[in-house]
Amino acid sequence: MSRRTFFIVQLLISVGILSVSILTSTALAQNSREATSASYRRRGDQWLAQRDYERAIEDYSLALVFDPNNANTYYNRGIARYDMGDFPGAIVDYNRALMINPQSANAFYNRGLARKASGDLEGAIFDFDQALELKPKLVSAYNNRGVARKGRGDLDGAIADFDQALKLNPHLAEAYNNRGNVKLSTKEFAGAIADYDRAIKLNPNYSVAYVNRGMAKKNMADFAGAMADYDRAVTLNPDLLEAYLQRGLLNLSQGRRSEAQRDFDRCVNLNPDAKRLIEQRIRHSAPRA
């Protein structure tokens, strides 16, 4: 081998060793970034479990600095933002998660919840549709799509969704309550009461179902039964404004003005803006000449 050939071979070997070194260094750096991101995400998960949403969001944001294409981190940060009431922020995070992983039924479902909470019922229904395409037995998606459909005035579609949810899970108290609400809105009071009965049997502490059943009973002139349901609701949940409001309206309609005023005062104590709502409900419930 000539000196020139030997020199070229040595040069190629050196270049090869240098290239391997660069690749190894790059891989180590990438692994380090992913490990750091995972560490922040795990701590964010711990904060989320403790309902410390601000710290959870802070850690998820740091995790994304090191690994900006991690769909799970965006998804988890979306949960934290949703739970603290930042629905637009949650939607942005679920959007990013779905751009990275468009096959995530859970991301579609959670974005649907955020859209529903924001008042975008059409967008929520779209998301629940997508979630159910990917996961046809996602019971909660049927239940929440039913709520959104009721809000859009599609009562038949809402009933179909609640029926399907109960077919998949006959022990879902929320679906019975929600189906009862549709029946209450169409003045099928006996059917509504039957559904509220089932909801309460499954969950005896379901304060909202007691309020709803009380309204159905009131519409059937079972005033004593309605009062008993409102009383039970406020016992179970002393901060449930709607229970005091409905009990106040019933007391007022029965001529118990002082009892009604106490209930209305409780509403205002819970939420100062309730005064206008009380006035509207009183006008709505007043007999017309």
The 3-state secondary structure of 184-232 reads HHCCCHHHHHHHHHHHHHHCCCCHHHHHHHHHHHHHCCCHHHHHHHHHH
Contact by Cβ (8 Å): 151, 160: no
State how far the Cα of 141 lies from the Cα of 147, in Å rounded to an integer. 10
The predicted-structure confidence for 13-67, as pLDDT tens digits, reads as follows 444 444 444 445 555 555 677 888 899 999 999 999 999 999 999 999 999 999 9
Taking only the tens of pLDDT, the chain with its 289 residues reads 555 544 444 533 444 444 444 445 555 555 677 888 899 999 999 999 999 999 999 999 999 999 999 999 999 999 999 999 999 999 999 999 999 999 999 999 999 999 999 999 999 999 999 999 999 999 999 999 999 999 999 999 999 999 999 999 999 999 999 999 999 999 999 999 999 999 999 999 999 999 999 999 999 999 999 999 999 999 999 999 999 999 999 999 999 999 999 999 999 999 999 999 999 999 877 654 4
Angle at 226 between CA 220 and CA 228, to 5 degrees: 150
Q: Is 238 helix (H, G, I), strand (E, B) or coil?
A: coil
State how far the Cα of 279 lies from the Cα of 272, in Å rounded to an integer. 13
Q: What is the pTM of this model?
A: 0.84
Least Cα distance to 157 among 168, 166, 167, 147 occurs for 147
Helices (H) and strands (E) in the chain, counts: 15, 0
Superfamily the domain 171-289 falls into: Tetratricopeptide repeat domain (1.25.40.10)
Locate the domains of the chain by residue range: 171-289
Contact by Cβ (8 Å): 111, 130: no
